[in-house]
Amino acid sequence: MRTRTTTATAAAALTAVALLLTACGGGSDSDDSGKDEIAGADTGASASASPSPSVSEDGVDRPEIKLPKDIENVFEGGATGDAKKDAVLADNERRVNSIDEAIVVDAEKHPALEFYSKDDALMSAATYIKSFYDNNRSFTGKTRYYDREVTFAKDGSATVTYCMDSTDTYPKDRKTGKVDRSVKASPNDYVFYNTRLEKSAEGVWQTASVSSTEAAERCM
C-alpha cells in the first residue's frame, strides 16, 4: 500500500540526489523516516541489521545497511546455483534495501544508496525517497519480492526482472509515528520491475536504469 510519485525532471532529480546523499533525514530528534511503496518504520538506535544478503568473500568493502525491525523485505527464490546470477540478485536485493533504508532511517548520510545505484536509477530513487520526506511520510510492514530472473547481455550488463507485492505494508506519519491501517490493498500494490545492472570496477552490480509497471497482472 505504497503511494507512488511521478517522475521528476533531471535537474530536480539531481537536486534530490545531492540532498539525500548529504542529509535527507539528518535530525537526531526524528522519530522515524518514511517510505511510499512500503509504508511505515521507526528509526534511530532501534534499527536492526537488514535482511540483505551476507557479504561474500569477494573483497568488496560494502556499506552496512540497517532497517528498523518493523520493516520486513522478503526476497523469494533463493540461490539459482549459478554464482554469477546469484551475485547479481544479491546486489539487486541490497539496492532495494538501500532505498528503504534511505526512506525510513533518519541519518546524515545514506552511503549504500549511491553504492548500489547509478545514473538514471540513482536519480529516480532519490526523487522517490525525497517525496516521502516532503510529504512527512514513512511506512511499515512486509514487502514481497518474487519471480526474480536474471539475464545477461553481450555487453556484460545484466537485466533483473521481478515482482513486488506491498499489500502488507501501511503508511506511517514520520513525525507522530502513527500508522494508517485503514488503507485497503489495491491492484497498484502489485508492481513489475525491469532493471538494468552494470558491474563496477570494484565488482559491484550497480543498477543503472529501472522501469516499473503498476497493477501488473503477471505479479498477481
How many residues in the chain?
A: 220
Decide: pTM greater than 0.85: no
Predicted confidence (pLDDT) per residue in 125-136, tens digit: 999 999 999 999
CB atoms within 10 A of CB 16: 24
pLDDT at position 109 is 87
Arithmetic mean of pLDDT, 145-154 = 97
Residue entry with cell 547509478: 118
Query: Exposed/middle/buried for 184, CB within 10 Å: 0-12, 13-18, 19+?
Result: exposed
Strands 41-42 and 71-75 come out as unpaired
Query: 138, 31 in Cβ contact below 8 A?
Result: no
Cα separation, 172 vs 40, in Å, equals 4
Type of residue at 143: T
Per-residue pLDDT of 65-93, as tens digits, reads 999 999 999 999 889 999 999 999 999 99
State which of 8-17, 21-30, 51-60, 77-86 shows the largest mean pLDDT. Answer: 77-86
Number of neighbouring beta carbons within 10 Å of residue 154: 5
pLDDT band with cut points at 50, 70 and 90 for residue 106? confident
